[in-house]
Structure 1
Amino acid sequence: MKVIGLIGGMSWESSAQYYRIINEEVRARLEGAHSAKSLMWSMDFGEIEALQHQGDWASLTERMIEAARNLERGGADFLVICTNTMHRMAADIENKVKIPLLHIADPTAAKIKQAGVSKVGLLGTAFTMEQDFYKGRLSEKFGLDVLVPPAEDREIVHEIIYHELVSGVVLEASRARYREVIARLVERGAQAVILGCTEIMLLISQKDSPVPIFDTTELHALAAVDWALGQQPQR
């Protein structure tokens, strides 16, 4: 079994879900008392969040590279970044370590393509929804037509993530607002919706959407198990 190197803490609420999903899946596949071999480097998300909103991506890139190198030195065989937004610097990390990185968009897009979906709505932080590092990979590498909410809805999605979900706060009123955002994406032609922030799965599940939901947290974690047990993740 390969050692999974997890860059977590962004926020720890979703990193805990990664740890749970990965270990439950390893136990299910190998049975008995088996669990995953893993290392986690957990960030202080208060510091990360401040740098994100300051737009200091250079400092964030340095911290992510340092975390990746620490995991590599610790014996990780490959890397998993337990957040969508910080894949903004995925290429920088790959250039600074010798072990491979499992990109969160790839297993998600593979499942979407497998389902026969071509036009998909994307929910996430404002950084993920507005910048091209994530949408561009989905469209250029996998040929997906990616829809993001309009500005007002993007603000709703972003604020709920940073003011509630990263602190483990799950409110019915916020779930209702997300349902409305999803409904408007579907009205525009979205055939499915990507939960493109690892905390959104705390709030939204399939019952909240009239179209299929693709949860990046679960799909990424399951792909990590595939890789750890010797199967290459779907691409």
Structure 2
Amino acid sequence: MQQKVIGLIGGMSWESSAEYYRIINETVRARLGGLRSARCLLWSFDFGEIEALQQAGRWDEATAALIEAARRLERGGAEFVVICTNTMHRMADAVQAAIGLPLLHIADPTAERIRAAGIRRVGLLGTAFTMEQDFYKGRLAARYGLDVLVPEADDRAAVHRVIYEELVRGRVEPASREAYRAIIARLVERGAEAIILGCTEIMLLVRPEDSPVPLFDTTALHAEAAVDRALAGH
């Protein structure tokens, strides 16, 4: 049985998309051995165009762009779709409704792993859109019964700024790692038993040693779940 073809919607940012590609291929090689690698297609956006739509609140146009990307992957032979970003799961339901392929939602493998660890109260770091809107927190609460804490307003602004001014530009600053460590500590003080790295670039900055509680890296968990789907039946 051949691997299923993974359709990756990336470029938001390319730094995290490169991590998806690396993790997916390393995981396939580890599981299948030898020279094996993943069968995948990648549609990569110009993130400057997407970021402008995000900041202007032009979500309908962003949704249309993601739907078109998913349809391109479907026409190209993808057998399921992965959106390589947390924030753009804001339109995941609309994308799923517009295509004939399954969409592997980033929140699901993350929540499943958290529940398997016996954790119920989690802190969430991500863009302001992910932390403040309900499309992500609501799914974690409604489908998985998780109690989701987000940082206070000043801390949310700091987390968002580092993502857009540094991480998506390829900058990893020690001062920002210290700032994130302090923000994580404050979430733990409020009762967080674990922290979700709910932006696919945060894993470039934050490491397990930066947190007194377990970290759940959505990039790695999503990529590994994509391999599970691609290799199902092997």
For 2:7, the aligned partner's letter is G
TM-score for both structures, normalised by structure 1? 0.98
Q: Alpha-carbon deviation of 1:202?
A: 0.1
| Partner SS state of residue 35, structure 1 | coil
Q: How does 1:201-212 map to 2 (within 5 A)?
A: 201-212=203-214
* d(CA) in 2 for partners of 1:137, 1:58: 21
Count of matched residue positions in the alignment of Structure 1 and Structure 2: 231
Q: Does 1:102 align with 2:114?
A: no
Q: In structure 2, what is the Cα distance between the partners aligned to 1:53 and 1:187?
A: 32
Q: Which runs of 4+ in 1 moved over 3 A?
A: none
1:46-80 Cα deviation digits (max 9, x unpaired) = 01111100000000000000000000000000000
Unaligned runs of 5+ in 1: none
Partner Cα separation in structure 1 for residue 100 and residue 64 of structure 2: 16
Indicate yes or no: 2:46 matched with 1:44: yes
Q: 1:93 matched to which residue of 2?
A: 95
Match of 1:79 among 78, 81, 92: 81
CA RMSD of the aligned region, Å? 0.5
Q: Distance in 1 between matches of 2:228 and 2:69?
A: 23
Report the 3-state secondary structure (helix = DSSP H, G, I; strand = E; otherwise coil) of the residue aligned with 1:6: strand
* Within-5 A mapping of 1:157-196: 157-196=159-198
Q: Partners of 1:51 and 1:58 in 2: how far apart?
A: 9
2:122 is paired with a residue whose SS is strand
**Cα distance in 2 between the residues matched to 1:205 and 1:229:** 29
Alignment correspondent of 2:64: 62
For 1:19-34, list aligned pairs within 5 A.
19-34=21-36
CA distance in 2: counterparts of 1:178 and 1:122, whole angstroms: 12
Question: In structure 2, how many angstroms separate the alpha carbons of the residues matched to 1:120 and 1:59?
Answer: 32
Structure 1 distance, partners of 2:56, 2:98, is 24
Q: Which residue of 2 aligns with 1:133?
A: 135
Shift of 1:25: 0.3
Structure 2: gaps (5+ residues): none
For residue 169 of structure 1, report the CA deviation from its aligned partner: 0.2
Q: Among 7, 10, 14, which residue is 1:8 paired with?
A: 10
The letter of the residue matching 1:129 is M
What CA distance in whole angstroms lies between the structure 1 residues aligned with 2:34 and 2:190? 47
TM (normalized to structure 2)? 0.98
In structure 2, what is the Cα distance between the partners aligned to 1:205 and 1:114? 21
What residue number does 1:150 align with? 152
* Alpha-carbon offset, residue 205 of structure 1: 1.2
Selected match of 1:111 from 107, 113, 123: 113
Q: Letter of the 1:130 partner, please give it.
A: E
In 1: Cα distance, 2:151 partner to 2:215 partner: 16
Query: 1:225 aligned to 2:227?
Result: yes
| Deviations 1:144-194, CA, capped at 9 Å, x for gaps | 000000100000000000000001100000000000000000000000000
The SS at the match of 2:38 is: coil
Aligned counterparts of 2:107 and 2:52: Cα–Cα separation in 1: 25
Task: State the alpha-carbon separation in 2 of the partners of residues 168 and 32 from structure 1.
Answer: 32
